Amino acid sequence: MARNNDTWILTAQCPSQLGTVDVVTGFLKQQRCYITEQHSFDDKLAKQFFIRTEFQPQASDFNILDFQEVFTARAAEFGMTFNLSEKGYRMPVVIMVSKTDHCLNDLLYRYRAGKLSIEIKAVVSNHPDLEPLVRWHDLPYYHFPITKETKAQQEAQVLQVIEETGAELVILARYMQVLSSEMAHTLSGRAINIHHSLLPGFKGAKPYHQAYQKGVKLVGATAHYINDDLDEGPIITQKVEVVSHANYPDDLVDLGRDIERQTLAHAISCHVERRIFLYGQKTIVFSR
């Protein structure tokens, strides 16, 4: 029979028990599906098993709905929850920004070059500054100013854009506003934030200048899911670089921005490729 070269991603988790790998791999063999990539992890403390498998059906008459129906019964025997998605699916996203443009610029380039499997539906900001950049990319830009008095109204406007565009992921690309607890709960598990990893020692304005005064030896960035604790959501990925006394404040700023761009892009890639299991307040990340 002719090969069906569409690639599918199966992610699943269940309580730790005998046969957890075989329930997936054995079934794929029975269904004439060739495994092209696989990662698994057994959390001995939580007693939970996690698996991510990419596979290609080998039969020309493969039907994903039939596959899902049969596997549902098989997975139920193990108390397994699972998700199926097609590799290469371009996830609809909304990006939130303020005035700083380095992360937005990087995401727009990767999007234009096809380096991220995303479909940018809109960019939302509390400032008008980055509208020309976004309009140049022929993307919708929404400017929703915010004050302490109008915060609830502004967040309602943002949520309306997210709902109307069908965005499955919200990217806070240096959005310099603290989300309300209500907003954080609404976007739980589908909003990624980026910040420098100088926290908590150097909060507030000009953190890299504060770090320089203290002789910091590492700079880095953290990408995480948001929650209602400021910058303390479940961590997806982190990157660091060694610096020294020879690096002046402007050097630290430039290096920090580079790391933030790379870290945020990596986190987004992991999310859209279904490489992340959000489990309680931590993540299981099967990076490439």
Residue spans per domain, the chain = 8-86, 91-285
With cut-offs at 50, 70 and 90, classify the pLDDT of residue 5: low
The per-residue pLDDT for range 40-56, each reduced to its tens digit, is: 999 999 999 999 999 99
Q: Which residues of 35-48 are buried (b: 16+ CB within 10 A; e: fewer)?
A: eeebbbeeeeeeeb
The single residue of 42, 231, 251, 258 carrying the catalytic annotation is 231
106 belongs to the catalytic site: no
8-86: what CATH class?
alpha beta
Distance CA 21, CA 115 (A): 31
Give the residue from 270, 279, 283 showing the smallest Cα distance to 9.
Answer: 270
Looking at the chain, how many residues does it have?
Answer: 288
pTM equals 0.93
| Residue pair 197/240 in contact by the 8 Å Cβ criterion | yes
93-141 tens-digit pLDDT: 999 999 999 999 999 999 999 999 999 999 999 999 999 999 999 999 9
CATH tag, 91-285 = 3.40.50.170
Pair 223, 237: CB distance under 8 Å:
yes
Q: The tokens 């990340």 sit on which residue?
A: 285
| CA 93 to each of CA 105, 110, 215, 245, 249: distance values in angstroms, whole numbers, following the listed order | 15, 14, 39, 40, 34
Q: Is the pLDDT of residue 194 over 60?
A: yes
